[in-house]
């Protein structure tokens, strides 16, 4: 079956612009996660959805970052007034039920470059 898909695969934008990154989780997975991976680093947790609600958004770095999952499936990560430091790979993962014992399946990521 299809895995987690993310679009776009690459995004180049200018400092100060607004960007949206999309994640399509595996069908039937109720849990969805966003991570950010900077060059040479491991993924850093941003936010976790259980269904439509954000169960844990403690990793969002500031109020320029926002994520939604209105119908409990597709999620969009929104970044306002982008800064050069936002350049990274943004990874999305989904799991069946959301308990830590369940496998998180990762998408290939969106590579964001802020000029």
Partner 1 sequence: QKEVEQDPGPLSVPEGAIVSLNCTYSNSAFQYFMWYRQYSRKGPELLMYTYSSGNKEDGRFTAQVDKSSKYISLFIRDSQPSDSATYLCAMSAGNTDKLIFGTGTRLQVFP
Residue keyed to tokens 């169960």: 55
For partner 1, which stretch binds (CB under 8 A), given 17-25, 63-71, 72-80, 90-98? 90-98
CB of 25 to partner 1, least distance (A): 12
| DSSP letters for 56-112 | E-TT--STTEEEE-TTSS-EEEEE-S--GGG-EEEEEEEESS--TTSPPEE---EEE
CA distance 83 to 114: 6
Residue keyed to tokens 């936010």: 47
- 57 near partner 1 (CB under 8 A): no
For partner 1, which stretch binds (CB under 8 A), given 12-20, 52-60, 68-76, 77-85? 52-60
CA distance 80 to 97: 30
Asked if residues 2 and 102 have their Cβ atoms less than 8 Å apart, the reply is no
Interface pick for partner 1 out of 7, 18, 55, 81 (rule CB under 8 A): 55
Interface pick for partner 1 out of 27, 58, 62, 70 (rule CB under 8 A): 58
- 25 near partner 1 (CB under 8 A): no
Interface pick for partner 1 out of 48, 73, 77, 114 (rule CB under 8 A): 48
What is the binding site for partner 1 (CB under 8 A)? 4, 31, 33, 40-45, 48, 55-56, 58-59, 91, 93, 98-101, 103-109
């Amino acid at each position: 079956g299809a895995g987690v898909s993310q679009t776009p695969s690459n995004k180049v934008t200018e400092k100060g612009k607004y960007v949206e990154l999309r994640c399509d989780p595996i069908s039937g997975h109720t849990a969805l996660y966003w991570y950010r991976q900077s060059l040479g680093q491991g993924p850093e947790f941003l936010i976790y959805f259980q269904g439509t609600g954000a169960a844990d958004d403690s990793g969002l770095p500031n109020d320029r970052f926002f994520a939604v999952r209105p119908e409990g499936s597709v999620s969009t990560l929104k970044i306002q007034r982008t800064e050069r430091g936002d350049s990274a790979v943004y990874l999305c993962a989904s799991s069946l039920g959301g308990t830590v014992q369940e496998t998180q399946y990762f998408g290939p990521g969106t590579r964001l470059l802020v000029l």
